[in-house]
Structure 1
Amino acid sequence: MAVAILLLLIAIASVLFHLLSPWWWTPLASNWHYIDDTITLTFWITGAVFSAVVVFMAYCVFRFRHKEGRRADYNPENKKLEGWLTIATAVGVAAMLAPGLVVWHQFVTVPADATEIEVMGQQWMWSYRLPGKDGRLGTSDARKISAENPMGLSPNDPNGQDDIVIQNDDLHLPVGKPVKVLLRSIDVLHDFYVPEFRAKMDMIPGSVTYYWFTPTRAGTFDVLCAELCGSAHAQMRSKVIVEEEKDYHAWLEKQRTFAELSGQPNVAKAAYKTKSE
């Protein structure tokens, strides 16, 4: 009897803790409310299944408790029960997976007007690259990374001469504009994660992964690495500052291009002149 009551209390306490807990997600600051909805649906389904299983266990403990003279009835199989359990399990799994597949399709379908930026992770800092006035990112190669070229940009690619390179500093983005984030790592697995944006993706050495989002709220948001990447993993921090477009462009004008960092300002000017002609 005591075990049955304890099981019921565990189920009730777990549900109440979830509903009344002061710990919840940070306020949403992007278009990905679909991810919140999917996680909430998963909570409801798994919570209902957990409660049902625990209550059923409590019922069995109480209903089939030991009594003097009672003998256990051996029942090796019950096809009707197995059928119902199979159907219920399939429906529950499909209910959790289907919304996730829909959201995943949205997650990897980038809007045509999204601006491409690049995030590079390394132990233990973040570097960013934004397109210059030509609106295009140049090519890069990890073998070209050096102190003067921290993101390994190809010096002979004219599209990269006006790229804005930001090393170990904050990333600025305009509010309300979709962004495609290209992700690279030059050493181990990293994961670029801003909790308020809800979007994240592993950064795999030798590959370029991506996702997209639209910042919907101005503010300053913490960047975390969501993949254990070494002894200073917890200190791998940065910030994303989302601001109005005029403030963003004012900040952008103050940043240095790859050509300026590498001592090739004339190359960048020639590239601009060629494109304008």
Structure 2
Amino acid sequence: MAIALGILVLVVVTVLFHFLSPWWFTPIAADWEFLDLTVDITFWLTGAVFIALNGFLIWVILKYRHREGLKAHYEPESKKLEWWLTIVTTIGVVALLAPGLWVWGKFVDVPDDAQPVEVVGQQWHWNYRFPGADGQLGQADIALVSPANPFGLKADDPAGQDDIVVNDAVLHLALGQPYKLVLRSRDVLHNFTVPQFRVKMDLVPGTTSYQWLKPTRTGQFDVLCEELCGIGHFAMRGAVVVDPPEDFQAWLDGHPTFAEFSGRAEPDVTAGRALYATCSACHGPGGEGNEMLNAPRLAGQQPEYLMRQLRNFKHGLRGASSDDPFGMQMAPMASTLRDDAAIANVVAYIDSLEVEAPAGTITGDTERGAKLFGTCASCHGKQGQGIWALNAPRLEGINDWYLKRQLQNYRQGIRGSHPQDLYGKQMNLLSGMLRDEQSMNDVVAYINSL
């Protein structure tokens, strides 16, 4: 009796949990209601079978419980029962599979008016590419990937010259426009997922896959990688913004074509020297940094990282929090660089500077720090040299007091809190492994030893 009662409680609690639970799909934002319907059908069918089987089990326990004078009847075979089980099971399997096959048929049948968009995944970042006026995406080759050609496009392919490159983790789409997302990986297996869109697909190295959708409401939605792709998998985030068509077109027009991106003029180091005169007041004439002015060393840092940080300061992604007074000091200084060309020029000049690595000011357990740095090394390199392909800056040779302050800012959410600072959000998550100040001291002391 106790077993039957326990099974009954289990069934009741399970059913109540399903209907009363606040956890369910996020509101859909694409024309894929069929997937929700398929899942609902699966829940109803499996739920009915769950209740029926447990109800039958309760009935069997009660009816055939041990009683004095009763003897069990042994019947090893029953063709009637086997036929009924075969028929009912077949109906159930067909009811489960048929909706999925129907939806899969729609999934692989891309509408003729779907606009192609390339999604490029890498550890741990997303990039995007739109076709130009010819409506075709140019050819790409992973072997051609470099800081000057992050998509690896073939320069001799005329179809790729007008492709619009979005070297950013935020993708914009137009409301009501069907899209075919062509998926490509630069390194390992990834999976492009926007929960509100319902559709998802793996990115397989060496080939391309695809999914299609039509956005049905405006808003910003998270992009997730739902394939274990390495130590930073959980922090591989991006965003999709669905805009009205006119806003989408304005956003798209603000990005360069591949021809414009690859044909940019080389930075002017001489012009950069003049622009750096303002920076030198704090960061020093040789980019050596000045702790008294809370200005870190700039010489030796990766140019791509410096350019991104100057843009972040300029556009309010960094230095907008009142809890970051030193960042607030940098924001107006970055605004003196009027455009990307000026930023490129001053960064090119900084890249030409050479100074000795600063002396360490923080002590800690370097042996313990080496173990903690094992996670950091996955992005920043074993020697803290930085890896541009992972958007990870150089750590070796950077002022230790500055590194510690940035780790504190990440942990406290002072830095990386802006919704468009996706790399900052990655560091918010990863800096959580340093649970206290001593851990920060240890890892920074180890970086000093590199």
TM-score range (shorter-chain normalised) is over 0.9
**Superposition pairs of residues 118-133 of structure 1, within 5 angstroms:** 118-133=118-133
Higher relative contact order, chain-length normalized (CA < 8 Å, sep 6+):
1
Supply the distance in 1 between the matched residues of 2:246 and 2:252 (Cα, whole angstroms). 10
- Aligned counterpart, 2:214: 214
Supply the distance in 1 between the matched residues of 2:186 and 2:250 (Cα, whole angstroms). 31
Specify the SS of the correspondent of 1:180.
strand
Supply the distance in 1 between the matched residues of 2:87 and 2:149 (Cα, whole angstroms). 58
Q: Deviations over 1:101-147 (max 9, x none)?
A: 11111111111111000001111111111112332211111222222
Letter in 2 for 1:30: A
1:264 shift after superposition: 6.5
1:142 lines up with 2:142 in the alignment: yes
- Aligned counterpart, 1:273: none
Q: Name whichever structure is richer in strand by fraction.
A: 1
- Aligned counterpart, 1:161: 161
1:11 lines up with 2:11 in the alignment: yes
What runs of 5+ residues in structure 1 fail to find an aligned partner? 266-277
- Aligned counterpart, 2:243: 243
Q: Mean alpha-carbon deviation: is it higher for 36-45 or for 70-79? A: 70-79
Q: Mean alpha-carbon deviation: is it higher for 26-35 or for 64-73? A: 64-73
- Aligned counterpart, 1:70: 70
1:12 shift after superposition: 1.5
1:167 shift after superposition: 2.5
Letter in 2 for 1:230: G
- Aligned counterpart, 1:106: 106
1:197 shift after superposition: 0.6
Q: Deviations over 1:43-66 (max 9, x none)?
A: 000000111111111111111111
Specify the SS of the correspondent of 1:98.
helix
Letter in 2 for 1:129: R
Runs (4+) of structure 1 moved beyond 3 Å?
Answer: none
- Aligned counterpart, 1:183: 183
Q: CA RMSD in A?
A: 1.3
Q: Deviations over 1:173-198 (max 9, x none)?
A: 10000000101112221110001111
Supply the distance in 2 between the matched residues of 1:248 and 1:95 (Cα, whole angstroms). 41
Supply the distance in 2 between the matched residues of 1:134 and 1:210 (Cα, whole angstroms). 20
Equivalenced residues, count:
265
Supply the distance in 2 between the matched residues of 1:68 and 1:165 (Cα, whole angstroms). 81
- Aligned counterpart, 2:97: 97
Supply the distance in 2 between the matched residues of 1:67 and 1:189 (Cα, whole angstroms). 60
Q: Deviations over 1:11-45 (max 9, x none)?
A: 11111111111111000111000110011001000
- Aligned counterpart, 2:88: 88
What runs of 5+ residues in structure 2 fail to find an aligned partner? 266-450
- Aligned counterpart, 1:274: none
- Aligned counterpart, 1:34: 34
Supply the distance in 1 between the matched residues of 2:71 and 2:228 (Cα, whole angstroms). 54
Percentage identity across paired residues of the two chains: 54
Supply the distance in 2 between the matched residues of 1:169 and 1:28 (Cα, whole angstroms). 22
Supply the distance in 1 between the matched residues of 2:132 and 2:168 (Cα, whole angstroms). 19
Supply the distance in 2 between the matched residues of 1:116 and 1:148 (Cα, whole angstroms). 24
- Aligned counterpart, 1:231: 231
* Larger Rg, first or second structure (1 or 2): 2
Supply the distance in 2 between the matched residues of 1:65 and 1:83 (Cα, whole angstroms). 27
TM-score by length of 1: 0.92
